[in-house]
Structure 1
Amino acid sequence: MLKDEKALVVFSGGQDSTTCLLWAKKQFAEVEAVTFDYGQRHANEIDCARDIAEELGIRHHVLDTSLLGQLAPNALTRDDIEVADGADGKLPSTFVPGRNLLFLSFAGVLASQIGAKHLVTGVSETDFSGYPDCRDAFIKSFDVTLNLALDAPFTVHTPLMWLDKAGVWALADELGALDLVRTKTLTCYNGVKADGCGECPACRLRKNGLKQYMNEKTETAGSR
């Protein structure tokens, strides 16, 4: 644990950010969370994030960034755009241009106001669907930019950067929160809590990761 250190977690109420929130609680003396209302069509994810934060005793901030949805129409903010994987090298329709850049920038400003020197985000270059702002190079660049912009020492942590979804489930289990992450988070693009709709890209990735992790766990237990 980093004694006397405070962290702010970028928190959507999904599998990844909830695992990061639990990880941060183990690492830092004090933790707060921030959720962004960017006009997402399933606003119940904000309620989900609020409920989890309350259960974990985390101070929770919700910031209005709805302008993002107006600037960059996408399947997460528009009902008339179908959720679809990218084809011919294109990004999925769920890509929101600049989302992590905007979220981390606002989170940095908020962190400076609440006395937090650490930001935690659940981006991953392993299961990133091609999103450019989930790459390690972007995070390292942003870390430098944030320190220069605010003239203060901040560190951006990405505990999931090199984990696939099976690895994220393993981390949640290691943190003693496998059931919480499985039953109380919302990852589904169709707004269905827990195991979700089972059909959208996010649900398939989550489900396949859980299956892989549980198989690996069973094999490890059987070899002892």
Structure 2
Amino acid sequence: MTREENDSAGKAAIVLLSGGLDSITVLALAIRQGYACHALSFDYGQRHNAELAAARRIAEQYRVADHKIFNLGLNAMGGSALTDSAIAVPTSPQTGIPVTYVPARNTIFLAYALGWAEVLHASDVFIGVNAVDYSGYPDCRPAFIQAFQTMANLATKAGVEGQQIRIHTPLMAMSKADIIRQGSALGVDYADTVSCYAADVEGRACGVCDACRLRAAGFAAAGVADPTRYVRG
């Protein structure tokens, strides 16, 4: 056991679990480090619930300490192709911040994680954001995470009383291929994960959205067989 694993053994941690490739890898990493993982997922009014169904299966498979699913209803605001049916999911690469960006999503998600962490007296929150192979979302950058962690320790009872909250982003500097290699080394089965922005009710991927392209390129670069079920495959 490494020193890090020894220090974290049995400690409660919140792990944001979407049901996608990145989040299952983060969960496996946190468990490997010895944390008692409390998985947190969101039904935020997204286009489909296939990823959320995958999160439920993953949480059960990994026997997490607890799994909560919060209903947020961000589709009431719209403004994103993932929450507004009037905005089409792009099928070709976009310039700038794409329409699949959900306004303030990670800020909201981390705020809920922070609240639950305080209730559990947990100091550690894990999220699978990535600043290498990603779609240009502003809330996936190191600067955002650092700013949120600073805010968290100013805005909470735990932080004020000296129990510092740490936001862990183990995938931040990894390519999609590196993430897949890391997960594979941990025994992660990616077959039951869903990353597609426009998956069908059976969880089959479209194969043409940005998330599908990044995922497929990652498996190819990692030299790992892509287990994704595609609608057109």
Q: Fold conserved (TM > 0.5)?
A: yes
SS at match of 2:122: coil
- Unaligned regions of 5+ residues in structure 1, if any? 216-224
Distance in 1 between the 2:151 and 2:196 partners?
32
Q: Structure 2 length normalisation: TM-score?
A: 0.85
Secondary structure class of the residue paired with 2:11? strand
Unaligned runs of 5+ in 2: 159-163, 225-233
User: Structure 2 residue aligned with 1:197, among 206, 212, 217?
Assistant: 206
| Aligned mate of 2:183, from 172, 192, 203 | 172
Report the identity percentage. Answer: 39
How far the C-alpha of 1:64 sits from its partner, in A, is 1.3
Instruction: Output the CA distance in 1 between the equivalents of 2:105 and 2:186.
Output: 28
Alpha-carbon shift at residue 194 of structure 1 (Å): 7.2
Deviations 1:79-109 (A, max 9, x none): 221112564x431110001000110011100
Change (3 A) 1:204 1:36: same
Which residue of the partner structure matches residue 206 of structure 1?
215
Alignment deviations for residues 127-158 of structure 1 (CA, whole Å, 9 cap, x no partner): 22111110001101101101111132210000
| Mapping for residues 36-75 of structure 1, pairs under 5 Å | 36-58=42-64, 59-66=66-73, 68-75=74-81
C-alpha distance in 2 between matches for 1:82 and 1:195: 18
1:213 is matched by which residue type in structure 2?
A
Tell me which protein shows more helix as a share of its residues.
1
* Separation of aligned partners in 1, 2:173 and 2:86: 34
CA distance in 2, matches of 1:26, 1:171: 12
Residue aligning to 2:83:
77
Distance 1:17 1:90 in 2: 24
**Deviation larger for 193-202 or 73-82:** 193-202
Measured at CA, do residues 194 and 174 of structure 1 come closer, stay the same or move farther in structure 2, by a change above 3 Å? farther
AA matched with 2:214? L
Amino acid at match of 1:187: S
Matched residue type, 2:26: C
RMSD: 1.7
- Residue of structure 1 equivalent to 2:231: none
Alignment counterpart, residue 193 of structure 2, candidates 153, 177, 185: 185
Decide whether the 8 Å contact of 1:187 with 1:194 is kept in 2. Answer: no
TM-score w.r.t. structure 1 length? Answer: 0.88
CA distance in 2, matches of 1:86, 1:200: 8
